[in-house]
Amino acid sequence: MTAAVSIRDLCFSYEKDPVISHLDLTLSTATITAVLGANGVGKTTLLHLLLGLFEPDSGEIRFFGRPAHNYSQTRRKQLMGMVSQNDTPPFDLRVDEYVLLGRAPHLGLLTIPGDKDRSASAAALSTVGMTHMAGHAVTRLSSGEKQLVNMARSLAQEPDILLLDEPCSHLDLINSRQMLVLMKTIAEQGRTVVFTTHDPNAAAAVADQVLLMKKGELVAAGTVTQTLTRTLLTRTYRGDVEVIETERGPFVRAV
Ligand SMILES: Nc1ncnc2c1ncn2[C@@H]1O[C@H](COP(=O)(O)OP(=O)(O)OP(=O)(O)O)[C@@H](O)[C@H]1O
């Protein structure tokens, strides 16, 4: 099957310092990829490059075998969804109105959302367990509630590739677990999920592929068992890390 994402020799810098250096990467369709690495190594930048917020300095990104720059703006917005950590609407909206904005890439410029759009939005809100907040103002939500609502907006969008920047960073224990289960469900539906995380155990729980990043380069890419090792994690984080093997896979903690 054609890869959902393939990246060849990708380089990017905001100013002079390289943030992404000669990155090669393949993400299979309908899989979950976790991106791990210390603060500031370029994880979010990688997601933003996939989303098309920035142009690479050199190298190539392909989606489903087709160069990213060959997609129209509209098609790319249908293709890719992103949940950032601190997404907030530019003006005050109710939760249900905000989630409905996720349908925008499927609507013409002056088209009013129809029943299909409203039911996709309602289903997305229900999936993240936030139906009871539909009438609340987004600006008054807690950080975790906002994260769930942002996820709902991206689910309503029904993208082929879903990019999640630290999707559990504001979530409580149970919602974190549910977010991981939801990611599994989304991948089983045939969508490709990429998420950044500071929690190797979240990666261990759901990822088909783990990318370990250090200063814009890959320390390693592979399965959970191949990547979540003491040697590779210590190299990635430049600090001592312990990996305890359990029946459910590796459990990682800093020592
Ligand atoms: N808009 C920007 N302009 C200039 N430099 C930037 C910009 N955004 C990020 N950077 C720099 O690029 C580097 C990578 O940032 P990025 O946000 O991708 O890292 P990250 O791995 O996601 O970090 P964290 O884990 O702390 O969220 C950092 O050194 C950061 O200071």
ipTM for the complex shown: 0.98
| Domain extent at residue 41 | 1-64+160-229
Distance 40 CA to ligand 1 centre (A): 5
Determine whether the shortest distance from the Cβ of 37 to ligand 1 is under 6 A: yes
Q: How confident is the model at residue 34, as a pLDDT?
A: 98
**CB of 25 closer than 8 Å to CB of 31:** no
Question: Which of 10, 17, 41 gets mutated to test ligand 1 (max ligand atoms within 8 A of its CB)?
Answer: 41
Atom index in ligand 1 nearest the CA of residue 41 equals: 21
pLDDT of the residue at 111: 81
Q: Residues 199, 167: contact at Cβ < 8 Å? A: no
Do 196 and 138 lie in one domain? The reply is no
Predicted pLDDT of residue 132: 96
* Sequence letter at residue 127: T
Note the pLDDT of residue 87: 81
Can you tell me which atom of ligand 1 is nearest the CA of 45? Answer: 18
In a shared domain, residues 147 and 28:
no
**Same domain for 171 and 133?**
no
Nearest CA to ligand 1 atom 29: 40
Please say whether the beta carbons of 160 and 75 come within 8 A: no
pLDDT at 213: 97
CB-side neighbour CA atoms (13 Å) of 79: 19
Residues 6+ apart with CB under 8 A from 4: 27, 28, 29, 30, 31, 63, 64, 160, 161, 192
d(CA 82, CA 80): 7
| Structure-model confidence comparison of residues 41 and 255, the more confident one | 41
Q: Is 44 in the pocket of ligand 1 (CB under 6 A)?
A: yes
Summary mean pLDDT of the chain = 93
Whether 207 and 168 share a structural domain: yes
Could you tell me if the CB of 167 is within 6 A of ligand 1? no
Tell whether ligand 1 has an atom less than 6 A from the beta carbon of residue 39. Answer: yes
Total domain count for the chain?
2
Cβ atoms 121, 115 nearer than 8 A: no
Q: Is the pLDDT of residue 1 over 80?
A: no
Q: Are residues 149 and 174 in the same domain?
A: no
Task: List residues bridging with 210 in a β-sheet.
Answer: 34, 222
Of the residues 139, 157, 175, the one at which a domain ends: 157
Q: In this predicted model, what pLDDT tens digit does every residue of 188-235 receive, in sequence order?
A: 999 999 999 999 999 999 999 999 999 889 999 999 999 999 999 999
Residue 190's nearest CA partner among 29, 3, 26 is 29
Assess whether pLDDT exceeds 90 at residue 20: yes
Judge whether residue 89 has pLDDT over 80.
Answer: no
Cα of 34 from ligand 1 centre, angstroms: 18
The structure tokens 């950032």 sit at 84
Looking at the structure, do residues 92 and 214 belong to the same domain, yes or no? no
Query: Residue 172 belongs to a domain with what CATH number?
Result: 3.40.50.300
| Mean pLDDT within 97-104 | 93
Instruction: Name residue 60's beta-bridge partners.
Output: 8
CA distance 103 to 98: 10
C-alpha pair distances (Å), 109 with each of 90, 104, 105, 120, 198: 19, 8, 9, 19, 38
CA 50 to chain centre: 10
**Ligand 1 within 6 A of CB of 84:** no
Q: Is 22 left (phi over 0), alpha (psi -120 to 50) or beta?
A: left
Residue nearest atom 1 in ligand 1 by C-alpha distance: 14
Domain boundary among the residues 142, 157, 172 is at: 157
Top mutation candidate among 15, 44, 217 for ligand 1, by most atoms within 8 Å of CB? 44
Cβ atoms < 10 Å from Cβ of 185: 11
Residue 255 scores a pLDDT above 90: no
Residues 142 and 180 in one domain: no
